[in-house]
Amino acid sequence: MTPGYQIVVCGSIVPDPLQTLEPQTTPAGPVLKSEMMLPMVLDPWASHALYEAAHLASKNAGSKVWLVSLAPKAKLQQVMMTVAQKVPFELFALDGSASGFTDAVETAAILAEAIQTIPALDRSRLLVFGGWESASRGSGSTMQIVGERLGILDQFQGVDQLTVQPDGAFEILERMEGGKHQISRCVAPPLLIGWATGNLPEPKNNPQVGMANMRGIMPAVQKAKPVKMPGEGMSFAQVSLPKQLRETKIVKDLPPEAIAKEIAAWLGNAH
């Protein structure tokens, strides 16, 4: 058996979180105002998945990491200039919409099909990583559907830690309600991991890693296969920013118990 893992990370790009986003309705459907002008970054949840994948690969000889990304290739190329300096990976680019208004089922179908076309993919070594959530496609279902389409039944969502045991099995720390974690054990690949925040810091920029990555990234972006998501059966009645509500009350000499009661009453009326 060939040592190491084949780790495929699914991750797209999203507008920089520091930007003000304004949704608007167009004849083609809802979009973000001036979306193509907004600075983009790799989705934060996908970033965690990529860093965890690279860390796991570095600890297991013979491993390789792919990043499968569905995004407008011009924007993707800009983001890759930064991401490429973080960790070693091979890019598999798809030229299509990265909008948060796309359907999770269509997105997952495209990603799963792309993963299946990766040359010499070995299911006995396959780990599929991605974000448990997303800053744009935040349905929480995309990675699950990808796994189902690939026939991967061992799926874990909201993962903070994955540890390889001496016998080759995986110990997985998975989030549960109430701030608790569930510890699971998976004997062998294939498996799918939807990462939460993980526990690794963002890697430092490494120009040598960046140069090595870019030799493959630039051709991958240029050869990115165009894909379309028609969004059949999906419609939006309205898109708008959440309304902000601010109620201010200034009082003096009110005991903490009374303040707490007023806040509790206000919260009760707000619902």
Number of domains making up the chain: 1
Per cent of the chain over pLDDT 90 is 49
- Averaged pLDDT score across all residues of the chain: 86
Is residue 43 one of the residues assigned to a domain?
A: yes
Residue 8's nearest CA partner among 112, 99, 156 is: 112
54-101: pLDDT as tens digits: 999 999 999 999 999 998 888 899 999 999 999 999 999 999 887 777
Taking only Cα atoms into account, the Rg of the chain, rounded to an integer number of angstroms, comes to 21
Is residue 203 one of the residues assigned to a domain?
A: yes
Categorize the per-residue pLDDT at 1 as very low, low, confident or very high, splitting at 50, 70 and 90: very low
Is residue 261 one of the residues assigned to a domain?
A: no
Helix (H, G, I), strand (E, B) or coil at 70: strand
Give the domain CATH number at 95.
3.40.50.620
Q: What is the pLDDT of residue 63?
A: 94
Cis peptide before 190 (omega within 30 of 0): yes
CA distance 132 to 242: 23
Give me the residues paired with residue 193 across strands.
Answer: 129, 156
Q: In the chain, how long is the greatest CA-to-CA distance?
A: 74
Is residue 238 one of the residues assigned to a domain?
A: no
Q: What is the pLDDT of residue 250?
A: 80
Q: What residues make up the domain containing 75?
A: 6-226
CA distance 221 to 80: 9
Is residue 251 one of the residues assigned to a domain?
A: no
Is residue 210 one of the residues assigned to a domain?
A: yes
Is residue 239 one of the residues assigned to a domain?
A: no
Q: What is the pLDDT of residue 156?
A: 93
Q: What is the pLDDT of residue 270?
A: 62
CA distance 205 to 9: 20
Is residue 263 one of the residues assigned to a domain?
A: no
